[in-house]
Amino acid sequence: MKKAILVLTILAGLAALPHWRCQPANALPDTAIALGRQLFFDSILSSNRQISCASCHKPEFAFADTSAVSLGVFDRKGTRNTPSAMNLTNAVSFFWDGRAKTLEEQALIPINNPDEMNLPVDSAVHRLRSNEFYTKAFQLVYQQQPSAQTLAKALAAFQSSLETNDTPFDEWKTNGNEAAVSESVKRGFALFNGSANCVRCHFGPDFSNTEFRNIGLFNGAALNDSGRAAISKEPQESGKFKIGPLRNIALTAPYMHNGMFRTLREVIDYYDNPDRFVPDAVNRDSLVSKPLNLTEQDKRDLEEFLRSLTSKQLTAKK
């Protein structure tokens, strides 16, 4: 009797957790999301079988990383900061430079990248087809053997499931609970939409955008990542990068495409006066051409607002 109660208690606890934290170790996945989740956490997709998608997209940090650039196979350094893999269903392009147009296309690129997982996609498919567990799983979900297409679909399905709208901010603005956030959060939201001008680039349900902007982190010298221009081949797009969602931003430090800012406060200080950080920026957007002249209280309020965008799923007990 006691054992049965313990099992029920454990199952109830798992049910209360986000789905990425409660996967049975050897259960055969029977949905695209479950299969994608299994693949996301499995190092079978890297050449040395030591790196998984989750190695760089850590669940406890909103599926981002904690270092400026991530380490791939054989400790090879990436070239850009690992963005969150959450809240991407409204996106129209992926990666900082927008090189991928769909989640499916995006999902396969890190596998093939020599600095990340370093495994040709056809080799990854061969491994999956040689694996009895995955052969059964793909047959169950897609009624066919693993392929590049179904591998991409499964990983994309899992990423598409990582949407969050259960934050203190949502409790306040959507559900009308005035007590869900502090007065500081409310002031920060007013600043975000007002004199701080953040809403010009970060708007909509995920506080994101479909545009690419140059916020002044390109000078052709120490900061020489040309961003979108490397893909579009358009010189006027030098230094432009994708505007990502702000949901769960408090958990995804360090920030920017190169991870140069360690804290939210540093990001706010930068936007307050970009020239103090990068006085020789090339092609910086006019939206960040002048100091904001934020007060100390303004900065604290903006940070509190950004922290209110953290999902309760991510703060739930592990």
pLDDT score of 18: 74
Strands 241-242 and 212-213, by their bridges, are antiparallel
Asked if CATH classification 1.10.760.10 holds for the domain at 168-315, the reply, yes or no, is yes
Structure tokens at 128: 């999956």
Answer whether residue 144 shows pLDDT above 60: yes
pLDDT score of 13: 43
Q: Do domains 2-160 and 168-315 have the same CATH topology?
A: yes
SS3 of residue 277 by DSSP: coil
* CA torsion through residues 53, 58, 64, 68, sign: negative
d(CA 117, CA 176): 45
pLDDT score of 20: 66
CATH class of segment(s) 2-160 = mainly alpha
Q: What value does the mean pLDDT take over residues 140-151?
A: 98
How many angstroms separate the Cα of 307 from the Cα of each of 24, 92, 169, 265, 298?
32, 25, 9, 11, 14
Asked whether 183 and 198 are in contact (CB, 8 A), the reply is no
pLDDT score of 316: 77
On the question of a cis peptide bond just before residue 18, with omega within 30 degrees of 0, the verdict is no
Looking at every residue in the chain, the average pLDDT score rounds to 93
pLDDT score of 174: 96
Q: What value does the mean pLDDT take over residues 198-203?
A: 96
Percent of the chain with pLDDT over 90: 90
Q: What value does the mean pLDDT take over residues 162-191?
A: 97
pLDDT band for position 161 (50/70/90)? very high
pLDDT score of 3: 41
Q: What value does the mean pLDDT take over residues 224-247?
A: 96
Asked whether 305 and 170 are in contact (CB, 8 A), the reply is no
pLDDT score of 40: 98
Answer whether residue 10 shows pLDDT above 70: no
pLDDT score of 2: 40
Answer whether residue 278 shows pLDDT above 90: yes
Q: What value does the mean pLDDT take over residues 173-183?
A: 97
pLDDT score of 9: 36
- Of 65-74, 147-156, 308-317, give the lowest mean pLDDT range: 308-317
pLDDT band for position 258 (50/70/90)? very high
Run of H or E including 153: helix 148-160
Domain range annotation of the chain? 2-160, 168-315
